Copies of this chain bind each other. A is one copy, B any other.
Amino acid sequence: MAELATSLRRGTLEFCVLAMVEHEDRYGTEIVRRFGEEPNLAASEGTIYPLLSRLRRVGWLDSKWAESPSGPPRRYYALTGDGRSALAHFRTEWVSFRQTVDRLVGTGEAA
């Protein structure tokens, strides 16, 4: 039985990434670091980089290289139009899903 947090992340992680670059372009290592600060989402490079490639491949993210003030160049990611739609779609799906789980699993009290 896998780690609970790991399987919970499934399906939401990619949209958390989309949301993270929604208002500002970000690069890989930065995204990893930011997720690292969220105990519920902490995901390593081995998760994030393949995820970013996948999102690029399906056309939800776009990327461009930029110099770093110090260190190797960075690949900055930005949301595409399709990415924006996908994120919007997720938001409605998520609310609905969350409510279903709350109702079925609930707090253990009532029905």
Which residues 8-49 of A sit at the B interface, judged by CB distance below 8 A? 8-12, 15-16, 19-20, 22, 38, 40-41
Q: What residues of chain B lie closer than 8 Å to A102, measured between beta carbons?
A: 98
Q: How far is the CA of A106 from the CA of B12 in the complex (A)?
A: 12
Is residue A88 contacting chain B, with contact meaning CB distance below 8 A?
Answer: yes
Is there an interface contact between B20 and A104, defined as CB atoms closer than 8 Å? yes
B90 and A107 contact, CB distance less than 8 A:
no
Give A61 to B31 CA distance when docked, in angstroms.
39
Contacts of A108 in B (CB 8 A): 22, 87-88, 91
Please name the residue on chain B nearest to A100 by beta carbon.
B40
Best-surrounded residue of A8, A38, A96, A107 (most CB of chain B within 10 A): A8
| A63-92 interface with B by 8 A CB criterion | 87-91
A19 touching B105, Cβ below 8 Å: yes
Q: Which residue of B lies closest to A88 (CB)?
A: B108
Q: Are B105 and A16 in contact (CB under 8 A)?
A: yes
The residue from B15, B22, B41, B97 contacting A100, defined by CB atoms under 8 A apart: B41
